[in-house]
A and B are shown apart, each in its own frame.
Chain A
Amino acid sequence: MSIQVDQVTKRFGTFTVLNDVSLHVREGELVALLGPSGCGKTTLLRILAGLERPDQGRIFLQGTEVTDQRINERRVGFVFQHYALFRHMSVADNVAFGLTVLPRAQRPSVTRIQEKVRELLGLVQLQAMADRYPSQLSGGQRQRVALARALAVEPKLLLLDEPFGALDAKVRKELRRWLRRLHDELHITGILVTHDQEEALEVADRVVVMHQGRIEQVGTPDEVYEHPATPFVYQFLGDVNVFHGRVAQEQLAHGSVGAEAVLPSDVPDEHEVTFVRPHDLEVNRSRTNSSQLEANVRHVLAAGSRVRIELSTQESAQVIEVELTKERYRELNLREGEVVFVHPRHRRVFKLPRP
């Protein structure tokens, strides 16, 4: 089911949660709404489900306006962060709930419902748990039950509100791969709300980055990661070094490989800020050209697949984070306190209004 969000605004009291948000989602797509807490992503999801009403703007599902439609007429599956399972019902009864509350004329027979529940529990790999109660399941299992329950009514649209937010890192990773596979099998249009950029980039076809009630950027994971449209997106998706001030600016501007041209700022109210990802910094033991920044090694973190190094510049004592491959680290053989020379391979310059 395609979704069209048209200039939606939502306020809670004097606080504007969503500010003139428009978004189009194609049929069969899995889209992630990504942003820090309080950015309005959950509110947008709840508006799509019909759990909240927008103050302004309209919602279209499959081309039909549903802004005023009741929740139970929208045929939307919703999965909550804290599962929201019915704890007095067995797993099978939970999954069957959406079918048993159907009006008598549309309700399938009892045997058909049982069959359907078995199918769905098979899909989420929980056949053996049918007679258990939610309190007897682990977090990951509970969320799979919640997903099976939402799928039982054959929704055209599946909305997931931080579905893996309450789970530990390993289960989370497993479940999001599984969700991606499930989506590829079922082809339901899906919207996933998350504050975890790794999750959004890994699972979604497209990522919608939100900040303070507005959409900052919409694009494929690759687009938003490689070509962030705004400083916020740049900083939110992964670690970043930010260089303010003229000295660093000039030094970084000259002759760094692959750098985009820096235009001199002719508007006095703006200042330029340079963003560089930690893995886009080149570290050398000796000066190879004049534009390199001189820095001291403050801290080396060698655990993990890549080595993280904290440097501090000599001029301004700014902390710079660098990520090196293990090979490069061994080659350099860096120790804490040593002097190195850094320059960026890639960087991005934004003009910001002067604070």
Chain B
Amino acid sequence: MRLMLKQPSVLPGFGLTLGFSVFYLSLIVLIPLSGLFFKTSTLSWEQFWGVITTPRAIASYQLTFGVSIVGAIINGLFGSIIAWVLVRYHFPGQSLVDALVDLPFALPTAVAGITLAAIYSPNGWIGQYLDPLGIKVAFTPLGVLVALTFIGLPFVVRTVQPVLQDLDREVEEAATTLGANRWQTFWAVIMPELWPALLTGIAMAFARAVGEYGSVIFIAGNMPLKSEITPLLIMTKLEQYDYAGATALGVVMLVASFVLALMINLLQWWSTARHRNQ
């Protein structure tokens, strides 16, 4: 039985380290998560269904997941461009720009939220020019999008950057000597190498956006059915001491996030496996 479970290895300590890993993961991840399910299970099936399918809840899912996906895709596009510029060109102030990318990471989310709200509100720096054009950013779903795009940017840049760095210049030169123009070289040679990293970056930006709370609530306006994100709805329920209802919504977010993450992982696995099948 022992032989079937573990591959013989020259490295000692397999049993010990595996045991520790499982214990640690249980303590940090699995036990709190199962607590969520336990609390939810105090609701009956009908009650649970009722809580998670109210129009307000459904609108909040649509906003949270929809805007998170759009934000992650925007980050995928512009984050790749930023990574490209940082890797391929050398210019004065490059390290400053490079450091700037991490700012959304480092900044307390509440600070980011207040800043964005101040800038995009109808009398803010940018908002005052957008308002006459009929574009309202702050206190609308568009504001949520701005906030979620802001916080997701570093994820894409930081995953794409090292891959671009390792890209073999000779492969591009080979494509050029074979008659490909820059566009063809980009699509046929560079993009296939970049896809897995780009998908990972987008997935991480998305996961971060789904769970984001601090920066969104300041700029969202938080109008039920319009600009209210699910984490805020959970918060509202907690404030009303409706713990079971809050955890029910939590379960929905957990399952949905898990399924989406799994799908992105599959996509990524497929795009890597295509050309590494030994």
**B partners with A:** yes
Q: Hey, which bits of chain A sit against chain B, CB under 8 A?
A: 49-51, 71-72, 76-78, 80, 82, 84-89, 97-98, 101-102, 133, 135-136, 146, 149-150, 152-153
The 27 listed contacts between A and B (C-beta, < 8 Å) are: A50-B177, A51-B176, A71-B177, A72-B176, A72-B181, A77-B177, A78-B177, A80-B170, A84-B170, A84-B174, A86-B171, A86-B174, A88-B274, A88-B275, A97-B175, A97-B178, A98-B178, A98-B179, A101-B178, A101-B179, A101-B181, A133-B275, A135-B278, A146-B174, A150-B177, A150-B178, A152-B178
Given the known A-B contacts A72-B179, A98-B178, are A84 and B171 also in contact in the complex, defined by CB atoms under 8 Å?
yes
Contacts of A89 in B (CB 8 A): 275
> Does chain A have a CB within 8 A of B188?
yes
In the complex, what residues of A have CB within 8 A of residue B178's CB? 72, 97-98, 101, 149-150, 152-153
B95 at interface (Cβ–Cβ under 8 A)? no
Further 12 A-B residue pairs, CB within 8 A, beyond A77-B177, A89-B275, A136-B278: A50-B177, A51-B176, A71-B176, A78-B177, A80-B173, A84-B170, A86-B175, A88-B274, A101-B180, A149-B178, A150-B178, A153-B178
Residues of A within 8 A of B188 (CB): 86, 97, 101
- How far, in whole Å, are A71 and B275 apart by their CA atoms in the complex? 28
Residues of A within 8 A of B175 (CB): 86, 97, 101
B276 touches A135 (CB 8 A): yes
Q: Contact residues of B with A, CB < 8 Å?
A: 168, 170-171, 173-181, 184, 188-189, 192-193, 274-278
Least CB separation from A97: chain B residue: B178
Please measure, in the bound complex, the distance between the C-alpha atom of A84 and the C-alpha atom of B174, giving whole angstroms. Answer: 7
Q: Give the distance in Å from the alpha carbon of A86 to the alpha carbon of B191 in the complex.
A: 11
Bound CA span A110–B171, Å: 24
Q: B22 CB to closest chain A CB, in angstroms?
A: 34
Residue in B closest to A101 when the chains form the complex, CB atoms: B180
Residues of A within 8 A of B177 (CB): 49-51, 71-72, 76-78, 150
- Determine whether the beta carbon of A84 is less than 8 Å from that of B168: yes
Complex formed: what's the CA distance from A101 to B177 in Å? 11
A157: min CB distance to chain B, Å: 11
A346–B168 Cα gap in the complex (Å)? 49
- B275 — nearest CB in chain A belongs to which residue? A88
A80 cross-chain contacts in B, Cβ below 8 A:
170, 173-174
Per the bound structure, the CA–CA distance linking A80 and B275 in Å amounts to 21
A103 to B278, CA, bound (A): 34
Residues of B contacting A149 in the complex (Cβ-Cβ under 8 angstroms):
174, 178
How far is it, in angstroms, between the C-alpha of A72 and the C-alpha of B171 when the chains are bound? 15
Contacts A76-B177, A80-B174, A153-B178 known; A88 to B193 CB distance under 8 Å? yes
| Nearest CB in chain A to that of B192: its residue | A88
Asked if A72 and B180 make an inter-chain contact with CB atoms under 8 angstroms apart, the answer reads: yes
- CB-defined contacts of B184 to chain A, threshold 8 Å: 101
Q: Which residues of B contact A150 (CB under 8 A)?
A: 177-178
A101 to B188, CA, bound (A): 9
Instruction: Verify B275–A87 contact, CB threshold 8 A.
Output: yes
Distance in Å from the Cβ of B16 to the closest Cβ of chain A?
35
> In the bound complex, what is the Cα–Cα distance between A152 and B174 (angstroms)?
13
Q: In the assembled complex, which residues on chain A have CB atoms less than 8 Å from the CB atom of B174?
A: 78, 80, 84-86, 146, 149
Closest to A72 in B: B179
CA distance A101 to B28 in the complex (A): 52
- CA–CA, A72 and B175, complex, Å: 9
> What are the residues of chain A within 8 A of B193 when measuring CB–CB?
87-88
Chain A residues with Cβ below 8 Å from B275 are 87-89, 133, 135
Chain A positions within 8 Å of B179 at CB level? 72, 98, 101-102, 153
Question: Of A50, A71, A82, A150, which is in contact with the most chain B CB atoms at under 10 Å from its CB?
Answer: A71
Complex-state Cα separation, A71 to B177, whole angstroms: 6
Residues of B within 8 A of A87 (CB): 193, 275
